[in-house]
């Protein structure tokens, strides 16, 4: 087993990651659906949510235990990167605001800003997003997998591959409405495909932050949390929750904007590295 991991670290990481995550997440979602609430037993899903990080630790321990400490240090790698920290906090929300404003202008959506509601819920949405996807996944995706791919492939190709692996990882979450695919979309082949396009597009932005932060997982976690929270934050500011056309168009436009933004940023970064 160890020799197989050493020969194929990337595939080993993916297989261990998917096995752990799907084995715990799928039963957890089914328990919640059957009981219409989060029961104590359903909390086994937390193990699955941390599958990428657990897999990264297992594989890195086999490859080189001395490097495991360096991997874990990425979780607290902050330094004095205040400009970059501002980027990871502001950009996900700004992109979603732009996407919403374009959609609202096209389809006569609400443009009245509800400042009090928006700011009062901002920290709640961030903190609600933080413990699950961001803290459970990023040690695996951007701490372990992305650097391994960058050793073999171009920046663009590595970003696409991480985004694809990241999208596929949500397979168990597709069984629960709203867990991955937005709850205003039915789960279908096309919505799953669109979700994977979304993770690939977002992956471009994550790669830019990875390059600029010298591989900081801390920065990736904060970025992940704000990308997850961005739609809720923006819809609170504009009190938009029911117009399907605007919700769907905003979602699609955000994918385009994030992908374009990330692509341009990493292209620029690659010329200066």
DSSP per-residue codes, 151-201? TTS-HHHHHHHHHHHHHHHTTGGGGSTTSSS-TTS--SHHHHHHHHHHHHH
Q: What is the pLDDT of residues 28-45, one digit of tens each?
A: 999 988 888 888 888 899
208 inside domain: yes
148 inside domain: yes
Q: What is the pLDDT of residues 125-169, one digit of tens each?
A: 888 888 878 999 999 999 999 999 999 999 999 999 999 999 999
Domains held by the chain: number: 1
192 inside domain: yes
227 inside domain: yes
pLDDT of residue 152: 94
Q: How far apart are CA 178 and CA 129, in angstroms?
A: 13
Supply the angle between the helices 189-212 and 155-169 in degrees, to the nearest 10: 130
54 inside domain: no
| pLDDT at residue 273 tops 80 | no
Its pTM stands at: 0.94
33 inside domain: no
Confidence class for position 271, pLDDT limits 50, 70, 90: low
Confidence class for position 272, pLDDT limits 50, 70, 90: low
147 inside domain: yes
Q: How far apart are CA 86 and CA 100, in angstroms?
A: 21
Dihedral, 227, 231, 232, 238 alpha carbons, nearest 10: 140
Encoding tokens for residue 41?
A: 């037993």
Mean pLDDT of 71-84: 84
102 inside domain: yes
Confidence class for position 270, pLDDT limits 50, 70, 90: low
Share of the chain above pLDDT 70, in %: 98
Q: What is the span of the domain harbouring residue 199?
A: 72-272
Share of the chain residues as helix, strand and coil, in percent rounded to the nearest 5: 80, 0, 20
């Amino acid at each position: 087993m160890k020799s197989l991991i050493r020969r194929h670290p990337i595939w080993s990481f993916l297989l261990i990651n998917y096995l752990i995550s799907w084995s715990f997440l799928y039963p957890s979602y089914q328990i919640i659906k059957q009981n219409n609430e989060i029961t104590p037993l359903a909390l086994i899903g937390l193990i699955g949510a941390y599958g990428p990080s657990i897999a990264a630790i297992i594989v890195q321990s086999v490859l080189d235990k001395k490097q495991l400490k360096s991997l874990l240090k990425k979780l607290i790698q902050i330094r004095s990167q205040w400009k970059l920290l501002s980027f990871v906090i502001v950009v996900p929300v700004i992109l979603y605001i732009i996407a919403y404003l374009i959609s609202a202008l096209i389809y006569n959506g609400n443009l009245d800003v509800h400042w009090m509601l928006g700011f009062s819920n901002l920290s709640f949405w961030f903190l609600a997003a933080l413990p699950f996807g961001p803290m459970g996944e990023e040690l695996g995706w951007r701490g372990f997998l992305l650097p391994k791919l960058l050793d073999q492939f171009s920046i663009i190709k590595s970003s696409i591959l991480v985004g694809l692996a990241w999208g596929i990882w949500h397979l168990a979450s597709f069984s629960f409405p709203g867990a991955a695919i937005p709850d205003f979309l039915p789960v279908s082949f096309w919505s799953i495909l669109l979700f994977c396009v979304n993770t690939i597009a977002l992956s471009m932005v994550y790669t830019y932050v990875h390059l600029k932060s010298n591989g900081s997982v801390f920065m990736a976690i904060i970025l992940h949390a704000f990308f997850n929270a961005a739609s809720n934050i923006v819809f609170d500011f504009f009190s938009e929750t029911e117009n399907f056309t605007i919700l769907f168009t905003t979602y699609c436009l955000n994918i385009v904007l994030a992908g374009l933004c990330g692509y341009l940023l990493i292209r620029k970064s690659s010329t200066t590295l």
